Amino acid sequence: MQKLKSKLKFFFKTFNFLLVFLTFAFLLLTPSEVGAADFKTDYQVEYNLSKFRENLSSNVGFNIRITNLRGDVYVNKFAISFPKSFAISNLKVSDDHGEISPKVIADADNTKVEMEFSNPNIGRDSVNNFYLSFDQINLFKVNGNVWEVAIPVIENKEDNYKVVVTLPTGTDKKISISKPKPDLVSGNQIVWDNPQTKTIYAVFGENQIYKAILNFHLKNNEIFPVITEVAFPPDSLYQRIFIESISPEPVNVYQDEDGNYLGKYLLKSLESKTVVFKGLIQVSSRPREEMLGVVENKISSQKNYLLSQQKYWTINSLEKINGLNSAKEIYDFTVGKLKYNYDKIDSDNARLGAEAVLSKPDQAVCMEFTDLFVGISREKGIMAREIEGYGFSYDPQLQPLSLVSDVLHAWPEFYDIEKNIWVPIDPTWENTSGIDYFTSFDLNHIVLAIHGRKSDYPLPAGMYKTGDSKDISIKATTETPIEKKSVGIENFNLSSRISDNKDYQGKFSIKNKSNVYLLGIPVEIKGENIKIDRQKTIVASLAPYEEKEINFKYSSSSKNKKNQGKIKIFVLNNKLLEETTEVIPFTYFVVAIGASSLVVIFAIFSLGKLILKKKKR
C-alpha cells in the first residue's frame, strides 16, 4: 500500500487551504509507478442557502467522483482538511454503497475528515463516489442590503469542477456582480462550470446602503479670519447621497471640476469648529443612467488636466513601462509589479508616488498601487484619476485599508472613451485577494473625494483631525433612503417700473434645499406683457445647499401702452415665484420730462423776476 498526497489550495476569506489526501491500493506496480495520472477526480459542490432571521446558512454538498484510469490501481481512502475558521456542523458522509463513518481528527488549526470506501470498484474506468454534506454558517455574508460570498475554487483545473449556488425559495435577491461570470442563471440557481479563477466572488442585490456619520475638525491658527472648505461625500456615477443633516451648515457650497462636493466655512481668529455630516450613501452595481449626461458634459473640460503629470503621478523611468498601452495591461502590470507591505499600515506611511514605487515595489500600499496606475495611464494617453474613500472590508488581510487616518482606502478610475463612463478598478485588492477588480467592481467602495486636477486635494473625511479622534462611522444598513426634493428662489432682481423702449437685466438664484443632488433641472421664465430673451434653462447638477445664479434680459412686449407686467419662474415645472412691474410708455416719460422742464423753467423765471424786483427796491 502506497500513500500519495496531493494538495488542493482553496482561497477564501475565512480560510487558507483545503488538503485532499488520496490513498491508493495497487496490484502489480511498485510505489514509484503510482501517480496522479492514474486517476481522474471530478467535483461538484452545491451550496443550498436558507435564511433565518437576519442570517444566512448554507447546506454544502460535495460530490467527489474518482475515476480509475488504470486497471491495476484504485483509490482506497480520501481525506479533506478544513481550517478551524471554516466551521462546519452536522457532517454526513457516504459512498456509493451507503453511509460511512468518517474519521474526524481536530487539532489547534485544522479539522481533518478521513473517508474510506466501504467496497471500492476496481478496474479501468471504474468510478467511486464520496458524498459529503454539512452545514456552514459563515460562508455567505449578510451585509446590509446585499448578500455577499467568496467561494474557494480548487486550483487543479485539469479535472471537471462545478459550483452550484441555490438561493432560498421566494427570495427577491438577484445576482448583480459575479467574478467570474456564471455559466448559467436559471431561476434561483447559479452555476459555474470549471471556473478559471482562484475564487468565485458574487453579490446578490442591486445596491448597498450605508449609514455615514463623518466629523470634520477645523481650526484656524491665524489671528485673522479665514475661509476653509471640507469635502463631503459626492454623487458619482455609482454613488448617490441622501443627507440627513450637515451641522453647522456651510456658508456656501459648490462642485469643483472633478465633481467634489465642497462646503466653505468661515473661521474667526484662532477659532475651532467641528462639522458633522450625517446621511445615507447608496452604492450601485451599475452606472446611474441619470448621471451619464453629467459625466459626458464634464469630460470635455476635464481633458485639459486628466492627462497631465502631477506631484505623485510622474513617470521618468519610461523604459520600465515599455509595451504597456491599454488600461488592462497597465492594471495587470501594477498588480504583478507591486507587493503590498502590511507593515506600512501602522507606520507614518509616507506616500512614495508612481516613480519612487517602481524602484521600491515591496513598499506599496493602496496609495502606491493607485499612483502607479494613474501615472502610467496618463503617460500612455489614458485619462485616469484617483479616488479616496472608504473600503468596507471583512478581512483586512485580503482587502487592506491603508490611508492610516480612520483606515481610508484609495483606488483608481480610468475613462472609457468608447462607453463614455468612468470605470473604477482596484489593483490593491486584486493583488492581496486574487479577486478580479478590473472587469467588475463591488458595492464596498464609498467615494469621499475625487482627485483628478490635483493628486493631493481635496482631503477626504477622516483627514480633518486636531487629535487622535475617530471621525468616520460607515456601516451597512437596511434602512430605505427617502428622497426629499425642494428648491428655492433667492436674490431675485426686478425693477418696479420699466419703460417700453429699453432692455433690462434680471437675475436670480435657485437653491437646492433637497437632501439629494438635483440633476437636469428645468428652469423656465414666463412673462405677461413682458418679453424674456432666455425663457428656458437646464441646470445640469445642483448639490444640496448649492446655489446657481441665472441671468436674463427682459423688456415690454408692447409699445405706447401703460399696463402691468408679470414675471413667473418655474423650477421642476412648479411655479416658485411671481413678481409684477409697471410698464410705462416712453411717451409718458417724454411728456413727464417736458412738463418737469417747463416747471423748472417757470420756477427759474419766477425766481429771477423776484430777484430783479428786490434789486430795484
pLDDT (tens digit per residue) in 573-601: 899 999 999 888 866 555 555 556 656 66
323: amino acid identity, one letter? G
Residue 161 or residue 8, greater confidence: 161
Q: Within this chain, do residues 270 and 403 fall inside the same structural domain, yes or no?
A: yes
Q: Within this chain, do residues 106 and 236 fall inside the same structural domain, yes or no?
A: no
What would the grid cell of residue 122 be?
476496481
Q: Within this chain, do residues 84 and 106 fall inside the same structural domain, yes or no?
A: yes
The yes-or-no verdict on residue 235 having pLDDT over 80 is yes
Q: Within this chain, do residues 455 and 568 fall inside the same structural domain, yes or no?
A: no
Q: Within this chain, do residues 40 and 161 fall inside the same structural domain, yes or no?
A: yes
Residue 156 or residue 335, greater confidence: 335
Reported as a single tens digit per residue, the pLDDT across 399-420 is 777 666 667 999 999 999 999 9
The yes-or-no verdict on residue 351 having pLDDT over 50 is yes
Mean pLDDT, the chain, integer: 86
Burial 426-461 (b: 16+ CB within 10 A, else e): bbbbbbbbbbbbbebbbbbbbbbbbbbbebeebbbb
Q: Within this chain, do residues 75 and 10 fall inside the same structural domain, yes or no?
A: yes
pLDDT of residue 279: 97
Q: Within this chain, do residues 616 and 556 fall inside the same structural domain, yes or no?
A: no
Q: What percent of the chain has pLDDT over 90?
A: 57
**Of 28-32, 113-117, 225-229, 413-417, which range is least confident?**
28-32
Q: Is residue 292 situated within a structural domain? A: yes
Q: Whole-model pTM?
A: 0.82
Q: Within this chain, do residues 381 and 344 fall inside the same structural domain, yes or no?
A: yes
Q: Where residue 205 falls among pLDDT bands split at 50, 70, 90?
A: confident
pLDDT of residue 541: 95
Reported as a single tens digit per residue, the pLDDT across 432-484 is 888 889 988 999 999 999 999 999 999 999 999 877 788 999 999 999 999 99
What would the grid cell of residue 60 be?
454544502
Q: Label residue 434 left, alpha or beta by phi (over 0 means left) and psi (-120 to 50 means alpha).
A: left
The yes-or-no verdict on residue 251 having pLDDT over 90 is yes
Q: Where residue 149 falls among pLDDT bands split at 50, 70, 90?
A: confident
What is the C-alpha to C-alpha distance for residues 136 and 88, in angstroms, rounded to an integer? Answer: 5
Q: Within this chain, do residues 19 and 104 fall inside the same structural domain, yes or no?
A: yes
**Of 40-49, 286-295, 353-362, which range is least confident?**
40-49
pLDDT of residue 371: 97
CATH number where 464 lies? 3.10.620.30
Count of domains in the chain?
4
Q: Which domain holds residue 221?
A: 210-477
**Of 219-233, 345-359, 379-393, 416-430, which range is least confident?**
345-359
Q: Is residue 203 situated within a structural domain? A: no
The yes-or-no verdict on residue 342 having pLDDT over 80 is yes
What is the C-alpha to C-alpha distance for residues 617 and 40, in angstroms, rounded to an integer? Answer: 140
What would the grid cell of residue 173 be?
435577491
Pick the last residue of a domain from 419, 452, 477: 477
